Structure 1
Amino acid sequence: MIFHEFPDLTWLKSQIAHGFSNRLGWGNLPLDTEGFPSVIIHTKVRECYRPDIKGPFSFFLNIRGNSLCSVDRQTTHINEENYFVSNRAQSYTLQIEENSGGAETFNIHFGEFFSESVLNSLVTPPDRILDAGTEKQLSPISFFNQLHPRDATFNGLIRGIMASYSETRYNKLRFEEQMTSLLSYHLQQHRHIAATVNGLPPVRMATRVELYKRLSRAMDVLRSNFCGEVSLDQLATAACLSKYHFLRLFRSVYGLSPYQYIQHLRIEKARGLLIDSAIPIGDLASLLGFDNSQSFSRLFNQRVGIYPSHYRLQSK
């Protein structure tokens, strides 16, 4: 289901508390099962404040604008380049601030039984598929609460959902296939993260996980603010680490220093804007946080092998 408005908050919390036992969605839409259904909220709002919702496994993203999502006393800024993840039964608070210019949300809530069934099927070995098909109990699967960069594959999946809805309205079979593709995509990202965690210094696994969580908080700050000023003190504080330990671990995990990673994010953003907009090079440099157009053009040429003006011409 895709809705173009946020459900009434009082109604939603009541339905969650009762496990959707009446099998009714927003607007008295009949549901096939109990439990939080699979639903996408695609709406344009100037502001909103939706506190303490115990939702299902969810992706929070914006087609346009910015939002804030708070989970476990950590608030994450979500821009147009990333999506944020919360797990089943985690309480989240979603906010779009009044002075932010509004946002066009595309928040994806995976039905609680749907997500567990799909994710368990994706991690079940082929030789156990037939046996697993008869199991009633599904193992819960949790992910790190963090920002994930939206790459071409992810954005293509989102565009596919939007296009199919505008063409044929809601088709349950197609919708569930598309939601399954999103879960499969995210599981691949999680496997990459698991490999990163395993690559941390050889200490207890619980310590590795905690170190990764701390680094991911700093990475969220970088991904949210890479066009502005970000200090080492700010990043180390977000990670609850000393500056020396933070720098060493960050470079070990991501292969770049924080400053180098910021430059990487800026260049990737520039590539998209050079193709999709007509913003003058000087204005683009300022927008991305460079001191001047010369330093931007020089770095772009070093990283991409061509100057931004020529890159734009080649992309036409």
Structure 2
Amino acid sequence: MIHHAFPDLDWLKRRIDEGFRSRKGWQDIPLDTDGFPSVVINSTVREAWRPDIAGPVSLFLNLRGRSRCGVEGRLQEVPEDFFFLSNRDQPYTLAIDSSQPVETFNIHIGEAFSEGVLSALLTPADSILHNGTGQKAVAVTFQNRLYRRDAAFEELLRKLRAADAPSGLNRPLFEEALTGLLHYLLARHREALEQLHRLPALKNSTRVEIYKRLSASLDYLHATGDADGSTLAQIACLSRFHYLRLFGQAYGCTPYRYAQGLRLQKACDLLRHSNLSVADIGYALGFENPQSFSRLFAQRHRVYPAQFRAAAK
């Protein structure tokens, strides 16, 4: 389902409490299974306050503007180039307060659907043959943080938007895109686990706590572009020295170089998909002049921006 308005909050919380056993969605749309259904909320609003909703695996993003979303009492600003991720049965809060319209595209992957896809992806074949339909559900706890919307994600997003056809929902395309999203999230989850296991710690619980603190600082960097080591260390509740050492171990670079990489990734997107001149792209991304932008771009990509654009087109 793709809705173009948020469902009534009281109605939604009542349905969550009863596990959607009535098998009726918003506006009495029939559902195939119990549990929170798969639904996308593509709504344009200036204000919204939707606190403490225990949803399924959910991705919060905006096609236009910024929202704030979070779990466990921490609201995180969600820029247009990123999405925020929450887990099944994890209460989330969504807030929008903007002078300009914000267009959301929040993706809630239904409980039964995600359970079936994740079990198929993560269960060994011999276990499937042995247990048949009695196979236990596989649970995955994703990291609550901002994730950059890369090219692979944008292609899945394009499919989801295409499923919202004038004649009605293209359900096979909708479910194909959701399946692809779960594949994608598992790949990003494995990347996060690799980063976590690079951290030095005697106990796994300590390593997880350090990674959560680093992730909180990275969310701030993503939302603001501020790569100041002292500010990021303060957000992570670590000394500047320990923060920079741990950041380098987890992500393989300094915060400044990480932020540079984000700017250059954005530059690649603009070179592919916009008509802005190379100079205008450099200024838009905060470079002092086109020459410094072109020089850094060539150092990272081994071609100059104009050459990259020509090859991409």
TM bracket (short chain): over 0.9
Mapping of residues 99-138 of structure 1, within 5 Å? 99=99, 101-135=100-134, 137-138=136-137
Check 1:236–1:132 CA distance in 2 against 1; reply closer, same or farther (3 A cut): farther
2:289 matched to 1:289? Answer: no
- Indicate the SS of the match to 1:23: coil
- In the other structure, the counterpart of 2:276 is 279
Matched, 1:250 2:254: no
Shift of 1:241: 1.2
Q: Which residue of structure 2 aligns with residue 237 of structure 1?
A: 234
Q: Is the partner of 1:303 in helix, strand or coil?
A: helix
Residue of structure 2 in register with 1:30 after alignment: 30
Distance in 2 (alpha carbons) for counterparts of 1:230 and 1:189:
23
Conserved 8 A contact 1:116-1:141:
no
Which residue pairs with 1:300 in the alignment? 297
Q: Which runs of 4+ in 1 moved over 3 A?
A: 171-174, 280-283, 309-316
Q: How does 1:98-247 map to 2 (within 5 A)?
A: 98-99=98-99, 101-135=100-134, 137-166=136-165, 169-226=168-225, 229-247=226-244
- Paired position in structure 2 for 1:73: 73
Residues 1:48 and 2:9 are matched in the alignment: no
- For 1:113-166, what per-residue CA distance to the aligned partner results, in whole angstroms no more than 9, with x for missing partners? 221222122111111112343226424321110112222111111111212332
Distance 1:114 1:313 in 2: 42
What secondary structure is seen at the aligned counterpart in 1 of 2:63? strand
Count of matched residue pairs: 313
Are residues 153 and 315 of structure 1, via their aligned partners in 2, closer, same or farther at CA, if it must alter by over 3 Å?
Answer: closer
CA deviation profile, 1:72-124 (whole Å, cap 9, x unmatched): 1222221222221101111111122223x232211111112221222122111
Deviation at 1:251, TM superposition (A): 0.8
Q: How far apart in 2 are the matches of 1:170 and 1:98? A: 30
**Residue type at the aligned position of 1:207:** T
Report the residue type matching 1:85 in the other structure: L
Q: Per the alignment, in what secondary structure is the counterpart of residue 134 of structure 1?
A: helix
TM (norm. structure 2) is 0.92
- Consecutive unaligned residues of structure 2, counting only runs of 5 or more, are none
The answer to whether the 8 A contact 1:143-1:190 is kept is: yes
